[in-house]
Amino acid sequence: MDPVYHIPALLNETIQGLAIKPDGVYVDVTFGGGGHSRAILTQMSAAGRNGSGKLYSFDQDADSLRNKIDDNRWHFVHSNFRYLSQWMDYYGEQQIDGLLADLGVSFHHFDEAERGFSFRFDGPLDMRMNQQAGRTAAEIVNTYDEEALARVLYIYGELKNSRAIARKLISARQQRPIDTTGRLAELLSGQKKELTCVFQALRIEVNDELGALREMLVTARDLLRPGGRIAILTYHSLEDRIVKNFLRAGNIEGTIEKDFYGNILTPFRLIEKGLSAGEEEVNRNPRARSAKLRVAEKIG
């Protein structure tokens, strides 16, 4: 049997949060195994498979096309979601009724040794979600200077000893390049917490995850029609902070603007403020443990 591509977290809660209309235009910017996309289509089913509702599903990883959906309302966009604005222009969609982002990587990424996302296996130190573009984690580890490497580890891995780790990696690469997950894990002497943080930091840098998220959020805000909903699932504090501040303030800087009377001016009404998976879901799907759902509605 093929390994599971992905098990979606907080599936029912996310779909409920989107308050789907059968004839609406929806975007799932992180298609992955398609669990959320299928559920969106099911909710739109009142109008039948040939109804006027539409769902655009983005994924930058071509592997996700293995999960494609046979449905006339469904359109796959093989692209980074940072180009959401250009793609919606291309398809002539000026406004959308809802957008879902289930951030990060799928089980498929973690469970396939050759994608290089996990220290549980030995594989090439790659970590690119889009295998056709960008720098690999090995290129970063073997070419960044100490300052740049330490900064990535400190900011994206929240590692207090980032300088010491950067120094260790630079000294090791002088012997021979660090080009496998196994070698990187061995150099970090196998402490699980530290390994998790180093792998997370490299993954964020390789895929410019936070830059893409910021660009997509601004486009989503502008595309949503009044009453439209945005639902975001985050998996670590760095991305969650960005989403939380954005949905509260309506801008990337997180600056709260007020009117003359002191009322907060924001384009969003908060619906869900950081819902986590319950015990039953975590028992069934332990990787849902770190998921956090935030939902907001665009106001007129």
Ligand X SMILES: C[S@@+](CC[C@H](N)C(=O)[O-])C[C@H]1O[C@@H](n2cnc3c(N)ncnc32)[C@H](O)[C@@H]1O
The binding site for ligand X (CB under 6 A) comprises 6, 8, 30, 32-36, 58-61, 64, 80-82, 102, 104-106, 129, 212
Least Å distance, CB 99 to ligand X, is 13
Angle between helical axes of 209-223 and 192-207 (0-180°, round to 10): 60
Least Å distance, CB 288 to ligand X, is 11
Distance CA 214, CA 239 (A): 9
Phi and psi dihedrals of 8, rounded to 5?
-65, 140
Helix (H) or strand (E) holding 55: strand 54-58
Least Å distance, CB 260 to ligand X, is 39
Cβ-based nearer residue to ligand X, 96 or 188: 96
Cβ-based nearer residue to ligand X, 48 or 91: 91
- Give long-range contacts, CB 8 A cutoff, 24+ apart: 148-152: 152/201, 152/202, 152/204, 152/205
Cβ-based nearer residue to ligand X, 187 or 210: 210
Cβ-based nearer residue to ligand X, 14 or 180: 14
Least Å distance, CB 166 to ligand X, is 26
Least Å distance, CB 280 to ligand X, is 19
Q: Which of the 8 DSSP states describes residue 211?
A: H
Query: Which whole-number Å values give the CA distances from 3 to 112, 128, 130, in the listed order?
Result: 9, 20, 20
Q: Which of the 8 DSSP states describes residue 4?
A: P
Phi and psi dihedrals of 102, rounded to 5?
-110, 90
Cβ-based nearer residue to ligand X, 82 or 292: 82
Which residue's Cβ has the minimum distance to ligand X?
32
Structure token digits, residue 87 = 């793609």
Cβ-based nearer residue to ligand X, 58 or 74: 58
Cβ-based nearer residue to ligand X, 13 or 102: 102
DSSP string, 145-201: -HHHHHHHHHHHH--TTHHHHHHHHHHHHHHS---BHHHHHHHTTT-HHHHHHHHHH
Distance CA 171, CA 177 (A): 10
Least Å distance, CB 230 to ligand X, is 15
Least Å distance, CB 168 to ligand X, is 29
Distance CA 178, CA 272 (A): 43
